[in-house]
Chain A
Amino acid sequence: MSFTLEGPSGPWEIVVGLEVHAQVTSEAKLFSGAATAFGAAPNSQVSFVDAGFPGMLPVINGECVAQAVRTGLGLRAQINLWSRFDRKNYFYADLPQGYQISQYAHPIVGEGRIEIELQDGSTKTIGITRLHLEQDAGKSLHDQHPSKSYIDLNRSGVALMEIVSEPDMRSPEEAGAYLTKLRQILRYLGTCDGNMDEGSLRADVNVSVRRPGEGYRTRCEVKNVNSIRFVMQAVEAEARRQIEVWEAGGTVEQETRLFEPARGITRSMRSKEDAHDYRYFPDPDLPPLVLEASWVEQLKAGLPELPDARRARYVAMGLSPYDAHVLTLEKETAAYFETVAQGRDAKIAANWVMGDLFAAINRTRTSIAAPPVKAEYLGMLLDLMQDGTLSGKLAKEVFEAMVETGTSPGAIVEERGLRQVTDAGAIERIVAGVLEANAGKVAEYRSGKEKLFGFFVGQTMKAMQGKGNPALVNEAVKKLLG
């Protein structure tokens, strides 16, 4: 079903393409040995290369190249064995060299694609135009002093992957789903941590509108949108603005805009006329980047399982497509699930993870990365149910005790004497006592009031403090009532 926005003169279709800047997960920067940890004291992770000192030269960090190739492989993209770094020249106080080293003409990764999942259960393929490596700039802080700007160069030189999509998205939802999926893939690959609030993942959103069936109209770029929700809002806000312009008989001018989340609007940042002439040219300090096909193959062989493959595998294990989708959204959730499901019933494992565990995480405000119950313990709990030690009811009780204490289910069962009674003889003795104490009710039952059966079961369970095996209790009640 196609998404349109209604204008006074008819429906409008939205066309969206995304340029995502993903900070490469690596110990050191793209061209220097300086560290990349987030949140370090200002200017504490800066080498002379990053600060653009005289005579300093860039040397490519092989790990960043490997991460870009892994990402390209994860995006099912063309890996270019020959690529090149160019200089993008412009002056700014947080750009120490006076140029950014980027890959303008010859990116390391070419065309690829990713599949997105939509609310209605359908999927859609979004084309990837290219992925290239580049340096990040430093950070300008304009709000620290009334008349001065402060510069923090910690980020200067950090490796970024710029991932450019085709203009294949047609709704805010698709844009959101694309960014969600891209982030998921990056996190599975371990090539970017995907933390949008720390700026490790930032999106520039290209939006245009058109009448259904038309060719493309002029697009505007909304810069630096830093959450998936804001991307969806920015797409819609910018599309509505453009529709208003066209409907009023105006013309949308190509420009760069900023999204203001608080007001839900985009505003102009600079027009095409103000655009820099970046004077791109090949960086003479860096020879072309030439990769061995065998090295790329080696990286390919070492790739982790990606979300699409993992989802398919979970479905094959007997999970519903929805459960498989939910469990694979985050790599950590999938890992948790797999530990629990290892050698056990996948469906039961999925129910516990998506039910009790997710609820406990929400309640305790923890995360799947630091869960309130260890995956190993949840697995052991399932084993205790499987071997009859715990009933479903007792298991829930033990689970809550694990959330509280963090100890293993075995220890809790021992400590609290929560072991299920499965001794048929013992259960029968208790049932006999219950029947004896309720002789009147027994008579009523025998005269046809069959719904009293549950009463006897309940009384027996009560007498056993809930520890009776429900099936055995049922059986014993049935037997003794004759």
Chain B
Amino acid sequence: MHPTDFTLRGAMEALNEGLVSSVELTRAHLEAIEALNPRLNAYITVTAERALEQAKASDARRAEGLAGPLEGVPLAIKDLFCTAGTRTTAGSRILGNFVPPYESTVSGNLLRDGAVFLGKVNLDEFAMGSSNTTSAFGPVENPWSRANDPDTRLVPGGSSGGSAAAVAARLALGATATDTGGSIRQPAAFCGIAGIKPTYGRCSRWGIVAFASSLDQAGPVARTVEDCAILLRSMAGFDPKDSTSADLPVPDFAAACARGVKGLRIGVPREYRLEGMPAEIGRLWEQGLQWLRDQGAETVEISLPHTKYALPTYYIVAPAEASSNLARYDGVRFGLREAAKDSDLRDLYERTRAAGFGPEVRRRIMIGTYVLSAGYYDAYYLKAQKIRALIKRDFDQAFQGVDAIVTPATPSAAFGMDERQDDPVTMYLNDVFTVTANLAGLPGLAVPAGLDAQGLPLGLQVIGRAFDEETVFAVGAAIETAADFRAVPGLRAGAV
């Protein structure tokens, strides 16, 4: 078996049994990156030397009996997480050659547990996008392609497109990602892997470049639900440096994957049956529910009446926060600075921000500035906050009668790199099933459940109660087991 084909869990066992060393695992992944990254563009920065040093140190720790929970496992880090000593770009030109002097709490937790970092993976600029085409470092290609149209290059989804593509193509055993409106779940679904956005507050946001603070949440992507559970346990935990971090114990999520779904009540929101949604997605959804019933769960129709307002609400709240969060990129203290000889401060700002931000980021800053402006605040931002509260209340009410909610992860399979690029609103529709969990702060897991007629992966989403990721993992694992998803992308390590 090629070392890149291990699941994360499988690699951990092989490491434990001495069947493979961290150096061997790491080297195999670095070689795969070298072979495939020029095509996929999943990695922005590969830290090969550092990774091998870490792997060597990890093997030494293991030899001394000091192995941590993730000892020696090679991972990819979304380039939104600040990594001490390694350039962090947020997929933007504006950060220039910014090398953080600090390590984000989440990536620091992974290092603490013994993980090896292969490098920093691509993303939509400042995590704004659903196709990973807005990155200043070029688009990422989905390792999957359509059976009847293999030459059309597909998007991996976004914003964590680099994370999802790297894991799907076996260029990492798992990756960190972030999700503000679907940025973990949508690319996971597009790339046929699993990914969870945990409850807001489960993972610290400290050291993660902020997009929309009240929605941003870090989580893992990996090739199995259990691998996600293993990674999340290391990533999560209370952090006094993040005032929105939850001071709660971190459960053994991996153990929860084996709980089963017998006796669980699964909610099926009627508002998620969208008009014009491909029939195969509806069929897959029904199939998923049947799998759960077969394993002893009960499915019940529920109503989340404010769902139709979720996208517009999201596209007010997220840009509003972003317009403020991105004000610090001004050319004064770090990152890009563009100035002419006689520039005054205003000119420095204008030149730096015009050169540093791409069109989608500029668009969202403008939308956000507009909705917060005097005279528009009440009509947009304040109204959106009220609707957000109603969306949250919809879920609170639904969870009085059900233990988890199952929906499709995305309204379509991965699309072509040249498709849907002309109209931002069409692009925003990608998040229609995922934004609600962000607005309500709830955990949402994407799990690969089948293929469409073109052979592209489709995912289902499991949404749970706040801080009840365990039930989400149990339901996700049950779907995964029943789906027995074994399809692999064409572009993957060892296959080309």
Contact = CB atoms under 8 A, between A and B. Distances in A.
Interface of A: 48, 51-60, 87, 89, 91-93, 96-99, 149, 151, 277, 279-281, 284-287
A284 B328 contact: no
B242 to A, nearest CB: 5
A59 B100 CA distance: 20
A51 B241 contact: no
Residue among A56, A277, A281 with the highest chain B CB neighbour number at 10 A? A281
A59 B332 contact: no
Interface stretch (B44-52, B147-155, B200-208): B200-208
B324 A55 contact: no
Interface stretch (B70-78, B132-140, B209-217, B230-238): B209-217
B244 A98 contact: no
B210 A287 contact: no
B101 A281 contact: no
Contacts of A277: 373-374
Interface residues of B, number: 43
Residue among A54, A56, A58, A59 with the highest chain B CB neighbour number at 10 A? A54
Nearest to B201: A287
B470 to A, nearest CB: 25
Residue among A96, A279, A287 with the highest chain B CB neighbour number at 10 A? A279
B243 A279 contact: no
Given A51-B333, A53-B334, A57-B242, A281 B327 contact: no
Contact of A55 (B207, B212, B330): B207
Contact of B324 (A53, A87, A287): A87
A59 B241 CA distance: 6
Contacts of B90: 54
B82 interface: yes
B374 A55 contact: no
Given A96-B333, A279-B324, A281-B377, A57 B372 contact: no
Contacts of B374: 277, 279
Contacts of B326: 98
Contacts of A51: 333
Interface in B376-398: 377, 381
A96 B330 CA distance: 9
Given A91-B349, A281-B381, A54 B98 contact: yes
B131 interface: no
20 contacts: A48-B101, A52-B333, A54-B82, A55-B102, A55-B209, A55-B210, A57-B241, A58-B243, A89-B324, A89-B372, A96-B333, A98-B324, A98-B328, A98-B330, A149-B345, A279-B369, A279-B372, A284-B214, A284-B321, A285-B243
B212 A54 contact: no
A57 B206 CA distance: 6
B206 A91 contact: no
B324 A96 contact: no
B347 to A, nearest CB: 12
Contacts of A53: 100, 102, 328, 333-334
B327 A99 contact: yes
Is the contact region of chain B dominated by helix, strand, or loop, or is it mixed?
loop
A57 B207 CA distance: 8
Interface string B297-334: 00000000000000000000000110110111010111
Nearest to A286: B243
A55 B81 CA distance: 8
Contacts of A57: 205-206, 241-243
A175 B334 CA distance: 44
A-B pairs with the 3 shortest C-beta distances? Answer: A98-B327, A284-B213, A284-B214
B159 to A, nearest CB: 16
Given A55-B207, A59-B240, 5 more contacts: A54-B95, A54-B209, A98-B324, A281-B324, A284-B213
Interface string B339-378: 0000001000100000000000000000001001110010
Contacts of B295: none
B366 to A, nearest CB: 12
Given A55-B104, A55-B206, A55-B208, A279 B373 contact: yes
Given A52-B333, A89-B372, A279-B324, A59 B243 contact: yes
Contacts of A151: 332
Contacts of A60: 243
Contacts of A281: 320-321, 324, 372, 377, 381
A99 B321 CA distance: 12
Contacts of B101: 48
B461 interface: no
A286 to B, nearest CB: 5
A371 B376 CA distance: 60
Contacts of A48: 101-102
B86 interface: no
Given A54-B100, A55-B206, A285 B213 contact: yes
A37 to B, nearest CB: 22
Nearest to A91: B349
A57 B369 CA distance: 21
Contacts of B349: 91
B88 interface: yes
Given A57-B206, A284-B321, A91 B100 contact: no
Given A91-B349, A279-B373, A52 B328 contact: yes
A59 B204 CA distance: 13
A139 B184 CA distance: 41
Contacts of B104: 55
A54 B243 contact: no
Contacts of B377: 279-281
Nearest to A60: B243
Interface string B63-96: 0000000000000000001100000101000010
Nearest to B321: A284
Nearest to A151: B332
Residue among B244, B330, B349, B369 with the highest chain A CB neighbour number at 10 A? B330
B67 to A, nearest CB: 29
A343 to B, nearest CB: 49
B212 A284 contact: yes
